[in-house]
Chain A
Amino acid sequence: MTAIEVDHLSKRFGAKVAVDDVSFAVAEGEIFGLLGRNGAGKSTTVDCVAGLRAPDHGRIRVAGLDPRRDRGELRHLLGVQLQESGLPDKLTVAEVMRLYASFYRHPADTDGLLATLDLTEKRNTRYRRLSGGQKQRLSIALALVGRPRVAILDELSTGLDPVARRDTWAIVTRIRNQGVTILLVTHFMAEAERLCDRVAILDAGRIAAIGTPAELGRPTLEDAFVALTSRRPS
């Protein structure tokens, strides 16, 4: 079954075309990478998939739901980890987890989730006092606390040190093994190569290439990425 379908999505902001006729489909249980340079349209695409923005054209389905029309239902099935923090500084890890768990019909066990993300020791620490890696792991935990079928992870490992990045990758793999479909937004090619079953490379709002990292990577995914996206924006 298809977890995410994006058909001919277009979105412009004033005169600027952010996303131009983008189509892709993500199978259930797949990790699908969305790659592209800054301003390539990744975030706008993700916002449309998450129902945060209305597309100008095109059709989107997430677990069979229309992200705008069925947004109430979608919120229960889709977990989102956004680039920015989005949490109050003065709440502790455990408080935030409990609050977010209260939003969902069938929340995950918050203690178990904190253990999975190696945050048990930090449960009484305020958000502001967490390290970058800990904040990122908390953000992933919150995306998963509603036991979603589909998760969007945006710039998962930006700002993390190499060890924290590897830890995060291991977590993503574990989540997928539990059957969650993942849409991963990244500009780390190594991350995409390691984690993604398939990737789409966006360039200036259009899909430049789509396929498995091995298919696209000649000789590496990064070379393919640079070849596809390095021309100066017109």
Chain B
Amino acid sequence: MRMLTLTEARLLLREPVALFWGLAMPMVLLAVMGWSASSIGGVPLAAVYEPIVIAFISVVFGVQGIPVQVAAYRERRILRRLATTPAGPARVIGAQLIVSLTVVLAATAGVLAVGRLGFGVPLPRQLAGFAVAAVLAAGAMLALGLLIGAVAPTARTAGAAGTVLFFPLMYFAGLWTPQLSATARHIGQFTPLGAAVQALRDSMAGAWPHPATLGVLGGCAIACAVIAARVFRWD
């Protein structure tokens, strides 16, 4: 398992485009918001966008990255090849999830650092609550990605599905309109990224995230993972 995880990490390092999107892009996005020096309701844009950008990271690696990786491994017969070895095909999927989770958390720390050092956004005041929210958000998106990858027949369809899902997920996270209408916000709190941004924002402000938001994230993670495990197409 250790060798598989190291190998997957090595493979990710050899994908500069994916790394740029997942690692550099969120920091650039935050910096652009920070430099614009405007504010919404008295809150600087960088602070408004920080939780949104963190949610964006988990979508890039979870919903856009994982489905393509998993489907490509099936399509390229890598899972089938592994099925003939003592390692089996499931572990390499586990390795991909571990590597992605690690990178998501690293990118999250990077965004916090850019926000703090570049634009004076305070670090999360409720740090434990923030950590729980960040891990659950990443877990929910990785599990959703796993579910897409479990059934997508090809890497191409997996990528398309991930891209299609990106828009509604990020809409409710507030990527385009950080101030959603009351109705949209009402619906949004039941979507994983609406809940994620709410939980991250609360914990950054110093409150423990509302249990309902953590419940939505945990529920999404568990439901997607369980269904993915049941319907997974190994070849």
Contacts and interface: CB of A to CB of B under 8 A. Distances in A.
Interface of A: 50, 52, 72, 75-76, 78, 80, 82, 84-88, 90-91, 95, 98-100, 102-105, 146
Contact of A75 (B10, B76, B86, B235): B86
Given A72-B86, A75-B86, A104-B86, A87 B7 contact: no
A104 B83 CA distance: 13
Contacts of A76: 86
B4 to A, nearest CB: 7
Interface string B123-156: 0000000000000000000000000000000000
Contacts of B183: none
Contacts of B82: 86
A83 to B, nearest CB: 9
B43 interface: no
Contact of B76 (A72, A85, A99, A103): A85
Contact of A99 (B7, B14, B86): B7
Nearest to A92: B10
B85 interface: yes
Dominant secondary structure of chain A at its interface with chain B:
loop
Contacts of A75: 84-86, 88
A154 to B, nearest CB: 11
26 contacts: A50-B84, A52-B80, A52-B83, A52-B235, A75-B84, A75-B86, A76-B86, A82-B81, A84-B77, A84-B80, A86-B78, A86-B80, A87-B76, A87-B78, A90-B11, A91-B7, A91-B10, A99-B3, A100-B85, A102-B2, A102-B4, A103-B85, A103-B87, A104-B85, A104-B86, A146-B85
Interface in B63-107: 76-78, 80-88
Contacts of A100: 85
Given A72-B86, A75-B86, A103-B87, A86 B3 contact: no
A82 B85 CA distance: 12
